[in-house]
């Protein structure tokens, strides 16, 4: 029996509620780091049976599109970062046996209930970002986007903060094992323009480990002395594919313009009553 067939007994109707309850527990238990900006790491990011189903349900790479071929491409023009947004249009392109699973996962991810869990953990930095008291961040309106991402050999991204209107970035890491812990996202501090003249402006101070069934989460900020610099060094030859789910919450609607900028949607409230 295939891994997908074995995992097919998973109740898709109950899955969104299970995920919300799971995230509520693991996020509450995760140690919070406030330096150099609010961030934390969780494991397991999904219940183990859900993670096994997730790995067995990864969409065909042919369904992905280059995220930004002008920015992330090899010398020959081939893309090094591809994405598949978790939207109705793309669910309809998936295999029938996996479409329902991804719809259920996305339903949990894009809920107001999920937003409240992650915003509450990062309340101080989110409050700074939104200009509201920390105890009000859970009630803030937010827009959301979730996408599957494939980072391929030769991909890299320089230290950056993510910028307005993003509020929180969530990165689910999806490796099959822990053989490439180094492939996680790096956290940096800005040493200033003078150090930049010597090519040493950014210093790596931490790195989310690319562990099986884990996730790194951080609050986006670009205030002086509170800037969420993160990035990824070159993925070297032989590293394989770095699969992840990247989810972002924004403080306002962000229209899609193609490439790296995709449309965001209001968080839905359909799970609020079920998971209260």
The CATH number of the domain where 212 resides is what? 2.60.120.620
Q: What residue numbers bound the domain in which 51 lies?
A: 3-266
Strands 222-223 and 226-227: antiparallel
Residue 141, helix vs strand vs coil: coil
User: Is 34 within a domain?
Assistant: yes
Can you give the pLDDT at residue 158? 93
CB burial readout 50-71, b (16+ within 10 A) else e = bbbbbbbbebeeeebebbeeee
Alpha carbon separation from 114 to 76, 140, 255 (Å, rounded): 40, 13, 22
Domain count, the chain: 1
Domain contains 274: no
Q: Could you tell me if residue 272 is inside a domain?
A: no
Q: Quick one: DSSP state of residue 63? A: G
- What pLDDT does 2 receive? 44
pLDDT tens sequence for the chain (276 residues): 344 544 456 899 999 999 999 999 999 999 999 999 999 999 999 999 999 999 999 999 999 998 777 777 777 778 889 999 999 999 999 999 999 999 999 999 999 999 999 999 999 999 999 999 999 999 999 999 999 999 988 888 899 999 899 999 999 999 999 999 999 999 999 888 666 555 678 999 999 999 999 999 999 999 988 999 999 988 888 888 999 999 999 999 878 766 555 689 999 999 985 554
Q: Specify if 271 maps to a domain.
A: no
Query: Whose CA is closest to 175, among 151, 147, 204?
Result: 151
* Residue 61, in any domain of the structure: yes
User: Which residues lie closer than 8 Å to 145 by C-beta, 6 or more apart?
Assistant: 85, 247, 248, 250, 254, 262, 263, 264, 265
**What gap in Å lies between CA 154 and CA 233, rounded to an integer?**
9
End-to-end CA distance of the chain: 38
Omega prior to 77 cis, within 30 of 0: no
State how far the alpha carbon of 214 is from the alpha carbons of 42, 158, 204, in Å.
Answer: 6, 23, 20
Would you say residue 182 lies in a domain?
A: yes
């Amino acid at each position: 029996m295939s891994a997908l067939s074995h995992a097919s007994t998973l109740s898709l109707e109950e899955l969104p509620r299970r995920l919300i309850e799971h995230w509520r527990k693991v996020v509450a238990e995760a140690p919070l780091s406030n330096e150099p900006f609010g961030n934390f790491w969780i494991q397991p990011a999904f219940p183990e049976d859900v993670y096994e189903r997730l790995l067995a349900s990864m969409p065909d790479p042919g369904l992905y599109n280059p995220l930004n071929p002008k920015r992330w491409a090899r010398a020959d023009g081939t893309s090094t970062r591809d994405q598949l947004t978790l939207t109705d249009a793309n669910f309809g392109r998936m295999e029938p046996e996996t479409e329902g699973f991804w719809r259920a996962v996305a339903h949990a991810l894009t809920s107001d209930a999920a937003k409240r869990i992650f915003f509450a953990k990062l309340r101080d930095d989110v409050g700074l970002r939104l200009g509201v008291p920390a105890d009000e961040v859970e009630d803030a309106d937010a827009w959301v986007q979730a996408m599957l991402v494939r980072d391929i050999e030769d991909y890299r991204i320089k230290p950056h903060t993510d910028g307005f209107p993003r509020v929180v970035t969530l990165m689910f890491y999806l490796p099959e094992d822990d053989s490439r812990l180094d492939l996680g996202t790096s956290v940096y501090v800005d040493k200033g323009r003078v150090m930049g003249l010597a090519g040493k402006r950014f210093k790596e101070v931490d790195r989310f480990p690319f562990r099986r069934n884990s996730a790194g989460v951080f609050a986006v900020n670009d205030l002086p002395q509170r800037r969420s610099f993160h990035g990824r060094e070159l993925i070297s030859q032989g590293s394989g594919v770095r699969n992840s789910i990247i989810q972002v919450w924004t403080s306002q609607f962000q229209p899609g313009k193609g490439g790296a900028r995709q449309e965001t949607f209001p968080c839905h409230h359909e799970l609020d009553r079920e998971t209260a």
